[in-house]
Structure 1
Amino acid sequence: MNQKNVTQISEFLLHGFSSQPEVQRVLFLLFLSMYVLNLLGNITIILLIRCDMKLLQTPMYFFLSYLAAADMGFATTIIPKTLENLPSHKKSISYCGCLTQMFFYIYFGNADSYLLASMAYDRYVAICQPMHYSTMMSHKRCLQLATVSWTIPMIHSLLYTILMVRVEFCNPGEIRHFICDIYPVLEVSCSDNKVIDFVLMTEGLVEILGPFVLILISYAFIFYSIMRIPSTIGKRKAFSTCGSHISVVVLFYGGVSWVYFNPSAKNPGLQDTVATVMYTMVIPMLNPFIYTLRNNEMKLAMRRVIRQHFY
């Protein structure tokens, strides 16, 4: 056990970005812009789905509205505190604030993952079981999937928060990151963390990879079904219904893989900081634009809503 100065720590110091004022000003403007775009884009998605009563009242858009809400929550968990700390000389976060940020960071990140898996299942049913789509993707089934997508991540994040409450920390608690993620916070721990390390390697791995495996299985069946379509036009149309979702899945799990599955995950450096920025700020900002620009139904609904309310 590490016998450093162990105290009841009241705050952590976050050292994730350069201390140069010029760099901090640029980062402040960049992150603020991304946060505003995130909110505008995802609120637009939610309002479009709620206002359009024809094109967008399908299970895919039902899940998309929840994904937009999760993306806003994900960014709001990270960016406001980062913006507060950037111009500050003492870049700190309270002990309770750190645990709260960790809880919602894990919660919204995993909710994103489960919602993407639910959307992949929806695309599987639509393409591989079209005759049974209305039955298999009934409103009740959609509510069940949405409930699972929000409930399991909450249990998961609550488990880690409870485990982290039992951890003792060294003073000063200097975290080599700009957020309170599990691995960087555990770096400043002075207690025996075998239990939480075991949980991370078992339950945590299943929690991250479980939805991803379900997505891979869904798309394996989807691609197999598409390849059996005789016409090129039919194949193109089938692929187009999955294009936006595939793009978001690749971006999301690409970020997850870099942040948590590269050898330096437990000792984040500059590249890991950049990857975390991509995962927590850039990707949630891009999702609404991907679904809007690559989706004809979204564009038609947007034109119709604009005509109804502004002309």
Structure 2
Amino acid sequence: MRKPPVAQVVYNTTFPHPGSHDPSSFAAHVAKHLVPEVRVETNTFYGPLDCIEAQYPGLDYTYGPHRMRLGRFPWHRRLFRTFDELKLTREEILELCCWEGTKFARARYELEEGVTVRDTTGHLIRPASPTQPPSITIHDEFCGPEDDQDQFIETGSDDTVRASDTRSSSVMSDYPTQELVEEDSSDEEIESCGWALNHRLLAAMAARDEGADVPLDEDWEQWLKEAGERGGYGDMVHAIRSTQPLSFIPEAPTSALRHEVHVDEGPLPSTMSAETFLYSTANLFASSPVMPQSSSHTSGTAR
């Protein structure tokens, strides 16, 4: 039994039940439906048919871009669907598609005329430039004179690392650590000075409570004495309470009234703020029974 022609199989699949208005054969279907769509596509793609390339576009029904262009038309879309359903091979499709505008028509024209139709479709499209490979920039700001030599460090893998790069990264990573160490050392110095001064003043105050005539701090008592003689003692206490700098206290005349502040004495804590210490020390000088109230005390304490 002979195999039916491919054109007959495609026609029967496209028109399973042909009507009175349907073409009677595959050749009639090509002339009625497919060739007009090819002409519309050629005119849309090339414009006026004033060149050989536009007259023989050489549409390949097995080439994806050409099928995409022709697939916009209903009968060509139906034809491609039939090709896929029948699973036709490339040779069968090229042998079947031999009408106007196809690749077969261009090949026959070139054979008869002895010329080659030049395809200029993609000539204005330049190839894409190659992508640049990833690169890395190494800065030598942290490398010393001895690092100019090419020194490499062998690793467990097949890669090698430059020793200068490793040292540069280590130097950069050490900077924050050095800053933290400097900040910690400065905090320790401030804290140690405060502790020493606090213990010295607490020891002197304990000795005064026992009846010993010892100064708390000579510089501090001298400053209190001068403040009392200037009459700025009350202003000094007000500045301490309002957390104002003591250097901005205006000097008062000698005849200004002196203000006394009375607070209840109590056990002193081991640590206290500067404001609390000044406040408690001033009241201790004002209320201590062992300290005379005259400014001519031999120990140089203030009132």
Coarse TM-score class (shorter-chain normalised): under 0.3
Structure of higher CA gyration radius: 2
- TM-score, scaled to structure 1: 0.21
Higher RCO, Cα 8 Å, sep 6+:
1
* TM-score (norm: length of structure 2): 0.21
- In terms of fraction of residues, the more helix-rich structure is 1
